[in-house]
Structure 1
Amino acid sequence: MKRNKQNPDFVHIGRKLLKWYDSNARALPWRNTKQPYNIWISEIILQQTQVKQGLNHYLNFVERFPDVQALAAAETDEVLLYWKGMGYYSRALNLHKAAKQVVEDFNGNFPEKYEDILKLKGIGKYTAAAISSICFDEKIPAVDGNFYRVVSRLFADDFDISQSSAFKYFSELSMMMMPENKPGDFNQAVMDLGSEICRPKKPDCGSCPLNENCIAFQSGTVHKFPVKLKRTKTTDLFLKYYFVHHKNQFLLKQRADDFIWKKLYEFPDEVPVEFEQFVENSTVVKHKLTHKNLTIQIETVNLTDEVDFISLAKRNHFNVVDFSESKKKSFPKPLENFIDKWIQRPTEIK
């Protein structure tokens, strides 16, 4: 059911939502400021991380990098280290690159306009809209999954959100509801409503401040929205590593800035043929990334004292670390789990 977007009464829904938000807004540290740097960091963290998991990460990150200048001046490895535990490390790399852009292209001043914010690395339409509306009162809806879900249910709108035109369609529809003042509060109200009440599964419609206006609720069709017809294909990927260790040290290398796991550390993916005699066992790990199913085989290579471990590393451009030093490196999650399990093994079987 498509709605007539010229209906001038839509804005009363936005006002009702703002009134609810005034009394029910979640108490979050980045809501105590309108500094664009803090809002930016929080929005990037929350892209793939729930609030309860991301809160401490946010606090630790902004304590170490309190402003864009501090972030721009940091080493990549340290930025990745402070991102550790949240995954999707490309977000941290893009933050670092964007911070350098702000310093170099905007004289260290975070851009205020939506179009300028969009120029920063890793910032898309949603994040640019969130920053510009919250920090600079630019009237623009921050359309994300919450918006799709809330708005499509409100109007029982069956517009397919997998279509490329969905962002523009729901942006226009949301704009009709957005009051002239407090655009940032409106966007955050939709975020809170979508996260806390209008959830993907088991929505709490009885507590929703808009249930009287919600066509899907009134017609008992909430479960049908939003409509998403196109499914993203997943691909299978096989990776093989060699965990080459000698006593309490092992070899690792840093990934390039392309494909998956950019700039993270990993084990060698090939070793000299003569190392086959030192292979102890093989471990297979399954891991899922967005749109990728990974099968990871890890061959454990236990080198003897006769092998010149350090020279081997230098010849093959590997790094040598001990287990305590490895905690200062950022690894893909399945490799980090492997290292943790190895550390916990009894000494006599290592």
Structure 2
Amino acid sequence: MKSKKQNADFLHVGELLLAWYKIHGRDLPFRNTNDPYKIWICEIIFQQTRIEQGLNHYSRFIHRFPDVQTLAEAENDEVLLYWKGLGYYSRALNLHKAALQIVREFQGKFPENYNNILSLKGVGKYTAAAISSICFGTKIPAVDGNFYRVLSRVFADDFDISKSKAFLYFSELALRMMPENEAGHFNEAMMDLGSEICKPKNPKCEICPLNKECLAFSLGKVHEFPVKSKKTKPTDLELTYHYVEFNGRFLIKRRGDDFIWKRLYEFPTEVPAEFKTEIVHHKTVLHKLTHRNLTVQIYKVILNSEEIFKKFAEENGFIITDLEESHQKSFPKPLENYMKWIEDEI
């Protein structure tokens, strides 16, 4: 299908969107501030988390780490603890690294320049644009999945969003729609429209403020947009863990910075052959990550010798803990759920 965006009045569409947003925009706690630190935290939290699920996490995180300096001075473990339940823990680690970067490179003051914001660990083009536009008025669109979906539908534009040039293409399209001095509100309006009305499935076209201008809607082809040809097929991965217990205490170790679940705690992945005679049960847990389908095998091993238990821990660098103490550490979701199951069985 040939793009029909030349038939639209770009600025008019942008003004309609803003008019709708000023009446129907979501009342969110981070909408009442221009503090770049708070906007940064909320953007990182809500990248992979729905608003209603993440609001309490956002409030707790900001309460404990109210500014860059506080976050930079915190220990990794505590940052991960306050991130617990949000998943994608690399986001929390990158927040901590970026806070240290701001202290080191920008004297503790959050950078105002788009390129400087983009240089922060874990900050991509979308997040840098959101902070830059909302907090500093920079005329730059915060292009993400919402932008791709709304713009491709409104203009019945079949530009493949999986292509490397899609970000630049839709950025230029959005700039033509963006009213002067309204970059932050325009970006927030696009976020709200995409998440509340112009949804991937079951869009609420009948109440959309742009439905009269939407070419895909008028053609009855809303579900054909956006066009995306390339889709990464998730790979299958099997992991094995051993919950090694003696007298109510068990063994854990912190993961490194390579592979998945960076810096989280886990159970032993390998145990001596003689331990396997002490296995009392086995659970198989299925878990999905963005690009991986995990099958996690967990074996519960109850040892009858404290000496063997402590020797194995010492020789292999494991920490001896219990269920109550483990609440102060962060684990991959399958292991966290397993420990909850153990607690319920006690």
Return the TM-score normalized by structure 1: 0.96
**What residue is the counterpart of 1:247 in the other structure?**
247
Equivalent position of 1:205 in the other structure:
205
In the alignment, which residue of structure 2 is the partner of 1:289? 289
- Per-residue deviation at 1:240? 0.8
**Alignment map for 1:166-181 (pairs within 5 Å):** 166-181=166-181
Q: Counterparts of 1:249 and 1:31 in 2: how far apart (Å)?
A: 45
CA deviations on 1:208-242 (whole Å, 9 max, x unpaired) are 11111110111111111111111112111111111
Q: Name 2:189's counterpart in structure 1.
A: 189
Post-superposition offset of 1:11: 1.0
Q: Cα deviations across residues 10-59 of structure 1 (Å, max 9, x unaligned)?
A: 11111111111111110000011000000000000110000000100000
Preserved contact between residue 205 and residue 211 of structure 1 (Cα < 8 Å): yes
Distance 2:211 2:7 in 1: 19
Matched residue, 1:313: 313
User: What residue number does 2:340 align with?
Assistant: 340
- The unaligned stretches of length 5 or more in structure 2 are none
Deviations 1:267-313 (A, max 9, x none): 01112232222122222111110110111111211011454433331
How far apart, CA to CA, are the structure 2 residues paired with 1:284 and 1:53? 27
Q: Which runs of 4+ in 1 moved over 2 A?
A: 1-9, 305-312
Residue 87 (structure 2) aligns with? 87
Counterpart Cα distance in 1 of 2:213 and 2:113: 33
Question: Does the Cα contact within 8 Å between 1:5 and 1:176 map onto a contact in 2?
Answer: no
Quote how far apart the aligned CAs of 1:182 are: 1.2
Extract unaligned runs of 5+ from structure 1.
Answer: none
Q: Is the 8 A contact 1:134 1:185 kept in 2?
A: yes
* Equivalent position SS for 1:250: strand
Shift of 1:171: 0.7
Q: For residue 267 of structure 2, what is the aligned residue in structure 1? A: 267
Q: What residue number does 1:237 align with?
A: 237
Shift of 1:2: 4.7
Q: Where do residues 1-350 of structure 1 align in structure 2 (5 Å cutoff)? A: 1-3=1-3, 9-305=9-305, 307-346=307-346
Change (3 A) 1:299 1:264: same
Q: Secondary structure at the match of 1:79?
A: helix
SS in 2 for 1:156: coil
Question: Which amino acid in the other structure matches residue 232 of structure 2?
Answer: T
Kept in 1: contact 2:91–2:122 (CA 8 A): yes
Instruction: Tell me: CA distance 1:190–1:2, structure 2 relative to 1, closer, same or farther (3 Å).
Output: farther
Could you say if the C-alpha distance between residues 306 and 149 of structure 1 is closer, same or farther in structure 2, counting changes exceeding 3 Å? closer
Q: Could you tell me whether the CA contact under 8 Å between 2:242 and 2:267 is conserved in 1?
A: yes
TM-score using structure 2 length = 0.97
Q: Distance in 1 between matches of 2:79 and 2:251?
A: 22
Which whole-Å CA distance do the structure 2 matches of 1:246 and 1:164 have between them? 53
Q: Which amino acid aligns with 2:342?
A: W
Cα distance in 1 for partners of 2:259, 2:32 equals: 37
Instruction: Tell me, in whole angstroms, the C-alpha distance in 1 between the residues paired with 2:3 and 2:181.
Output: 24
What displacement does 1:119 show? 0.2
Judging changes above 3 Å, is the alpha-carbon distance between structure 1 residues 2 and 43 closer, same or farther for their aligned structure 2 residues?
farther
Go from structure 1 to structure 2 and tell me whether the alpha carbon gap of 1:39 and 1:193 turns closer, same or farther (over 3 Å shift).
Answer: same
